[in-house]
Amino acid sequence: MQTEPTQSKNILLLREFVSYLRTLHIDTLEQKWIAIAMMIIAFLVGIITVDALFHGINPPSKVETIDSASVHLSKEFAEDNLGVQRDNSGKIIVRMVALRYSFIPKHLEVPAETPITFRWVSTDVLHGVNIPMTNMSTMIVPGYVAEVTTTFPKPGEYPLLCNEYCGLGHNHMWSTIAVIAKEEWVAKTTATPPALTK
Ligand code: CUA
């Protein structure tokens, strides 16, 4: 809470500043350009607001923390829990660990035309992840879980690259994603393993 004297002092300062602005000479043409620039800014802020409120488009990295030093001991990012998984509701989740200089696992197989939620953590420094030719890109900040949900429209092989400089091996840090037809993926993942022949 501000006290009365500080408030009136601030108002006084503001008034002084406004009257100072009035004394400034701004060319008419310049005023027009200022107005145009302001309108552009308002338009862009408007787009961001509408997307955030009505389309649910937000920055990818949620504020979800994790201890980077003990990622391997965490339940979710333990080694045998990494890779592609389908939860009980049928949602597909991919968990990956980023560390200098690779992503674990090295190769993934996911279905096309299906929403896939990626969750990444870093065990050391700041990494990034980018899948070229898609809109998928995010930072992986140590101490936080980065989450992005995306859909691959058609089958193909995609590289998954680190796009934040993380050290000398940065350009060797990548994995691959094989996007396969939805039906093929379902058949592959639900097929019962063949019985062992003696
Ligand atoms: Cu990891 Cu660059």
Q: How confident is the model at residue 191 (pLDDT cuts 50, 70, 90)?
A: low
CA of 123 to the centre of ligand 1 (A): 12
CA-CA distance, 128 to 140, in Å (whole number)?
A: 5
Report the CATH number of the 68-192 domain: 2.60.40.420
Q: Which atom of ligand 1 is nearest to the CA of 163?
A: 2
Q: Is 90 left (phi over 0), alpha (psi -120 to 50) or beta?
A: left
Across residues 14-31, what is the average pLDDT?
90
- Cβ within 8 Å of residue 124, ≥6 positions away: 68, 99, 100, 142, 166
For residue 183, pLDDT over 80 is answered with: yes
Distance from the CA of 29 to the center of ligand 1, in angstroms?
48
Tell me, in angstroms, the distance from the centre of ligand 1 to residue 171's CA. Answer: 7
| Residue 83: alpha-carbon gap to chain centroid | 18
Buried b (16+ CB within 10 A) or exposed e, 76-110: ebeeeebbbeeeeeeebbbbbbbbbbebbbeebeb
Quick one: pLDDT band at residue 163, thresholds 50, 70, 90?
very high
How far apart are the CA of 137 and the centre of ligand 1, in A?
Answer: 13
Average pLDDT for residues 40-63, to the nearest whole number? 83
Q: What is the mean pLDDT of the chain?
A: 86
* pLDDT bucket at 96, cuts 50 / 70 / 90: very high
Pick the residue whose CA is nearest to atom 1 on ligand 1.
127
**Cα gap 95→75, rounded to integer Å:** 12
Which atom of ligand 1 has the smallest separation from the CA of 100? 1
In this model, does residue 100 exceed pLDDT 70? yes
- Per-residue pLDDT, averaged over 30-49, amounts to 96
pLDDT of 86 higher than 90: no
Domain boundaries for CATH 2.60.40.420 within the chain: 68-192
Q: How far, in Å, from the CA of 128 to the mean position of ligand 1?
A: 6
List residues near ligand 1 (CB under 6 A).
Answer: 127, 162, 164-166, 170, 173
d(CA 74, CA 164): 25
Whether the per-residue pLDDT at 128 is higher than 60: the answer is: yes
Split at pLDDT 50, 70, 90, the class of 98 is very high
Length of the chain: 198
